[in-house]
Structure 1
Amino acid sequence: MRKLQATSSMKLFSFSLIFIISLFVLVAAMFLAISYGAKEMTLGTVWTAVIDYNPKLTAHQIIHELRLPRVIGAAVMGAAFAVAGALMQGVTRNPLADAGILGINSGATFAVALSFAFFPNLPYSALIVVSFTGAVLSTLFIFMLGRSAPGGLTPLRLTLAGAVVAALLHSLSSGIAIYYNLAQDLAFWYAGGVAGVKWVQLQLLVPVILITIVWAFMMGRSVSLVSLGDDVAINLGVNTKRIRLLGMTASVILAGVSVSAVGAIGFVGLVIPHIARKLVGVDYRFIIPLSALLGAVLLVVADMGARMVNPPRELALGIMVALVGVPFFLYLARKERRSL
């Protein structure tokens, strides 16, 4: 008993240390990202603008109106995509699960394309609802398609169904963009980016995302048990169907609202949970909060990198993330194939 308690305390200490280090890295990355741009800012200027904003100073205006919402948006959306991926991987027991790979992002983008074509003057709050609706419908279709095959839904069938639906919806979105001359408007949602994030968007999205992430934290223990298999979870009193429904609902909320702000950025939810799992083990009470932090770090650093590649022009944020995500996905796919 004492040995078990000592092991549990050690895991908690290890997680706390990694969490604090990750939090420090995130804060440092955010300050560097705010400092870097067409006009260089010192860290002192950034600190003063954050804690003692003076609207009469041009440097403070640039930081407060342009860079601060951009960096906060990158951090919050990165956390949202990462937690969505962690939940999906846990409740589906699919190590390849991710909002981009499973077609959820494509569903949200397709819904946005339809709204641009037929309802071009929708307010941003309505666009969030449209994006979320597209994510929900694409998720339902993917699960129905995966279950229709003999043998029911398996991790491999779920991945294949998601890939098929993602390709279909991407093609339909491209067709709508060409037919209705929306290519320029939809380019942002295809490539992804946080340059257009403003305070009004953050005021709408941040409360929804933070509440959903806290909800995901609360599901950590149940998701851990479901990830071990239905037999184990049921024997320990977990309603697996209910947890899967709640977990996927939270994932769809996080992915849907994030796409409405920064576009269909993939691979964050694939890569980050695996890194978190390597650092803190298989307990989702630790994986989910650490994924939120690491996802925020990844998107903040990726956005900063997108600005540094060819200044003053910017590389699409989705490309920067894909440079890390695609090789990682191929590695995981190869690993999964060997285990079959």
Structure 2
Amino acid sequence: MEQTNTFKDFFSRFAQRNSHNETAAIALQSAVLPIATALLGVATVPLWEFSWYIPIVAWLFLLIFYALVWRKSHPAHNDIYGLLLQKSRDEEDLERLKTENDEFEEIVIDLYYKNIASFSLRAMSIEYIKAIRDGNNSKEYLSEMIDEIMSPFYMAGDSIFGFEISEKWSIGVYIYDPTDGVLKSAWRKTSGTHPSKGRVGRDWIPGEGHVGKAFLDRRPILTGNANEDSVAQLCRARASKWQDHDSDTYVSFTSVPISITDDDGIDPYGVLVVTSDIEGRLADEAVTELLMHVAQTLALILEITGVSTICLVRPNHCMTTATEGANDVEKERQRVGQDGRDTDCESRP
């Protein structure tokens, strides 16, 4: 790269010098030399009568001056320098075309994933809607449905998001419980290195954290660095829910409302969220668009079937389930009962 820059600077200076020389030579050849030649032609006879030596020297000087002007306008090896300069420009064009080609390949890959996801989700949606209408509306079936819809994202996260082996990532679906006015974790997958592996997510009040804010604002929220002061003030969990690993684990995230409308008067069904500990991992708008497509598919299934989503979140908050963050266990014990069954989680006709 340094040699290329040196080459470019040298020929840039050379081309600039040649341009100045050519401009000066044109001015001399088109104005100064013709005038000097005319004046000397008129003065030659009188000068010759005075002294033959003077006009001969004057004409020789004019010829030498003309030769120097011509040499300035036609530098040695100018054609070689021109070819090398053209080579440098061609290399810049090739580099630009390579960059454009890489961008085009990214667009093609993005469209490929979107098309595959679109066809797959459409086929799955029809199957799920039919099954739910046929009475398969248990918590187990709905959880299986979410897992199958989300499986490409946690099974091929390296291809879709760029997840690495040691990366701490999580993918979760939060469902809004209108009874408690809280967003609760209904489904979650994490990497093997994630500090909260094996636990469901924390509860979020609408407007709290990036999950609650995406729900309240009815729009996707994405950031490449949640530790920036301007972002942290809006998206950080309150003290009772704060975990020591949060600032190192939840660095980049995308939160998308599960909704088919942005009407402020209609609450989303929940929020789909993806997080990573790598800065900038989830700041790509193309990834957000793909997640929006998935979130809309989930919302569409729930909207068309009218199935209750309460059974997806109540079992996750019984006293026998480990939960990330603080939870009111006594409240859960009183609501669920001693037998551990929650009537809100039973199948509905």
Is the pair's TM-score, using the shorter chain for normalization, greater than 0.5?
no
Higher relative contact order structure (alpha carbons within 8 Å, sequence separation ≥ 6):
1
Higher helix share goes to which structure?
Answer: 1
Higher strand share goes to which structure?
Answer: 2
When Rg is computed on C-alpha atoms for both structures, the one with the higher figure is 2
- Relative to the length of structure 1, the TM-score reads 0.28
- Relative to the length of structure 2, the TM-score reads 0.28
